[in-house]
Structure 1
Amino acid sequence: MMGPDEIESEESLVELALRVLNTADPFEKSRLGDSVATRWLNGVITHPYHPDHHLVIPDRPARLSNVKLVAPGLMPKLGKAGSLQSRIAIVHSLAHTESWAIDLSWDIIARFGKQEAMPREFFTDFVKVAQDEGRHFTLLAARLEDLGSYYGALPAHDGLWDSATATSKELLSRLAVEHCVHEARGLDVLPTTISRFRNGGDNTTADLLERVVYPEEITHCAAGVKWFKYLCQRSRKPVSDQEEQEICAVESGTTTEDDEVISKFHAIVRTYFRGPLKPPFNEEARKSAGFGPEWYEPLAIKIPIHSG
């Protein structure tokens, strides 16, 4: 397999995304992805895809077998970062999630970019996401080694890719479930995880999560929200007096279009995501990513309040 320095300029971004997906080693996957991303962002790679090329997208990206996989329900408890063992388990789990996030980012480019005739900005946004995810994986894997362990030392689950498989036929569903549900869930739990590492005396890991991973994950969720809205708006059929109706609605602070987008989001999540969403929600981070409580609160568990 060709390395990061052997990328040919006439290769399209989608062709190179496939090469990343077909790279089994997560460290090499990250290095190759970073090289592809840099070349795209610098204008060295010029074509998002070649219209006349028929490419086969793998159902499942290439992965090494060095990580023991178990069902999500059989995963050992991670603990609360109070011990070295717990801190290693949490960082390992985060690194595994990021390894899949690399594949998810390149898959959305390869699987849907040409199929949905997406604009160039779509490719650029998810190239940036892919590059970030690769950096997150590399940094977390290095932190594991600092803690005396390594990626592959503990079991993990592939639930994230199960959702990707379920949403492999429709970009709108992929954006909703992976980027507006799973990514947003990460925003909800990361502040608590950061606090636990600080309380456990591991400021190095806390700083990595707080200064690098957390702010970039907000932008990843924002990309999902942005392109979900774009697709909903692009699919709308013009109606008579539409412009006048929308101008009046914007002035009043709400739009029928917003309601339609949110209703579509709710329908998709209920179809493809198992169970309700779990509060508490990180409202500030979610707002920064471009969506408010009306998106997610109707999908949440209603926790009964017990008196006494």
Structure 2
Amino acid sequence: MMCSTSDTEETLVEAALRVLNTTDPFEKARLGDEVANKWLQGIITRPYDEFLDLPVHDRPARLANVKLVSPSEMPKLGKAGSLRSRQAIVHSLVHTESWAIDLSWDIIARFGRQESMPMDFFTDFVKVAQDEGRHFILLAERLEELGSFYGELPAHDGLWDSAIATSKDLLARLAVEHCVHEARGLDVLPTTISRFRKGGDDKTADLLEKIVYPEEITHCGAGVKWFKYVCSRSLNLLMCSNNDEVSRDMEDEVIQKFHATVKDFFKGPLKPPFNEPARRAAGFGPQWYEPLAVKNFSTNSNS
């Protein structure tokens, strides 16, 4: 008996799991780019098999070549004034991007079918995953040009600790990983870029300013967009035919849900200063994050 094409075609979730189960980060990025192109070109057409419940491991496959320490034990990165400091900063960015690849494929594999997400959800995070893979490769290549390599310096896995904490809750994953951690990246990147320029490293500064920074705004924007969607759907308030929009009368309830979710799943307050223009470009204004800042957190945490 012959199987039809639809019976044998690999789904996006199955392909995402292949990426997550790939240990080498460079191969992971390459495979992720291949899968992304197949999805965006319509070669992979089904996001998932509705009758197939595929397990997603708590941690993706990773090489053991990076020495992991707790965040508190990480050596200071410096301010890019010396070669060693520039190496340390770029190494930290490479490590972050390696996890960002896994985070993007994990949200597809872990939540797409379970939450019955629309096709645009898969496409948005496929694009994010492809960007993160490109960032990883470019930054790893730049690190080698600076005389180092990924794995030479220690790193921490705080980003994936948050992923494990939010592995059962899509709203929490979107809020913490994409609207807190990724937004924090938007806050600090301009300073990082400035430090590389002052240190005479325009090549790294250009890479961060012209490629990484603008694309990270869109990644944070994907988190904000889908947080609004899932929150509105769960509140039975989704009245817009356009999933990008949440009407003004919904906004307060969505923001309150965001505040409650961050307090439940993220330890401590958010740290200013905030990059308000970049955050606004990503789709959320100060009313989302300022009440969660250091100076306001203690007074609002019991509200």
Shared fold (TM-score, shorter chain, > 0.5): yes
User: Counterpart in 1 of 2:62?
Assistant: 63
Structure 1 runs of 4+ with >2 Å offset: none
Give deviations 1:76-96, integer Å, cap 9, x for gaps.
000000000000000000000
Asked if 1:282 is matched to 2:281, the reply is no
User: Counterpart in 1 of 2:261?
Assistant: 268
Asked if 1:294 is matched to 2:302, the reply is no
Q: 1:71: Cα distance to partner?
A: 0.3
Q: 1:195: Cα distance to partner?
A: 0.1
Amino acid at match of 2:222: A
Sequence identity (%): 75
Map 1:174-213; keep pairs closer than 5 Å: 174-213=173-212
Count of residues in Structure 1 that have an aligned counterpart in Structure 2: 285
* Alignment gaps of 5+ in structure 2: 1-6, 241-246, 297-303
Q: 1:237: Cα distance to partner?
A: 3.3
* Alignment gaps of 5+ in structure 1: 1-7, 247-253, 304-308
Amino acid at match of 1:90: I
**SS of structure 1 residue aligned to 2:13:** helix
Rounded to whole Å, the distance in 2 between the matches of 1:188 and 1:14 is 32
Rounded to whole Å, the distance in 2 between the matches of 1:187 and 1:104 is 17
User: Counterpart in 1 of 2:37?
Assistant: 38
Rounded to whole Å, the distance in 2 between the matches of 1:236 and 1:53 is 28
Rounded to whole Å, the distance in 1 between the matches of 2:79 and 2:176 is 27
Rounded to whole Å, the distance in 1 between the matches of 2:280 and 2:236 is 28
Map 1:102-141; keep pairs closer than 5 Å: 102-141=101-140
Q: 1:9: Cα distance to partner?
A: 7.5
Give deviations 1:275-298, integer Å, cap 9, x for gaps.
100000000000000000000000
Rounded to whole Å, the distance in 1 between the matches of 2:174 and 2:8 is 29
Map 1:1-20; keep pairs closer than 5 Å: 10-20=9-19
**SS of structure 2 residue aligned to 1:302:** helix
Q: Structure 1 residues 297 and 23 mapped into 2: Cα distance closer, same or farther (>3 Å)?
A: same
TM-score (norm 1): 0.90
Q: Structure 1 residues 59 and 140 mapped into 2: Cα distance closer, same or farther (>3 Å)?
A: same
User: Counterpart in 2 of 1:250?
Assistant: none
Would the aligned equivalents of 1:88 and 1:147 in 2 still touch at CA under 8 Å?
yes
Would the aligned equivalents of 1:9 and 1:44 in 2 still touch at CA under 8 Å?
no
Q: Structure 1 residues 281 and 9 mapped into 2: Cα distance closer, same or farther (>3 Å)?
A: farther
Amino acid at match of 1:178: E
Rounded to whole Å, the distance in 2 between the matches of 1:227 and 1:144 is 33
Q: 1:147: Cα distance to partner?
A: 0.3
Rounded to whole Å, the distance in 2 between the matches of 1:126 and 1:197 is 30
Rounded to whole Å, the distance in 2 between the matches of 1:65 and 1:232 is 38
User: Counterpart in 2 of 1:216?
Assistant: 215
Asked if 1:85 is matched to 2:84, the reply is yes
Give deviations 1:232-260, integer Å, cap 9, x for gaps.
1112236xxx98xx9xxxxxxx8331000
Amino acid at match of 2:167: S
Rounded to whole Å, the distance in 2 between the matches of 1:193 and 1:36 is 32
Rounded to whole Å, the distance in 2 between the matches of 1:175 and 1:43 is 26
TM-score (norm 2): 0.91
Q: 1:127: Cα distance to partner?
A: 0.1
Amino acid at match of 2:271: K
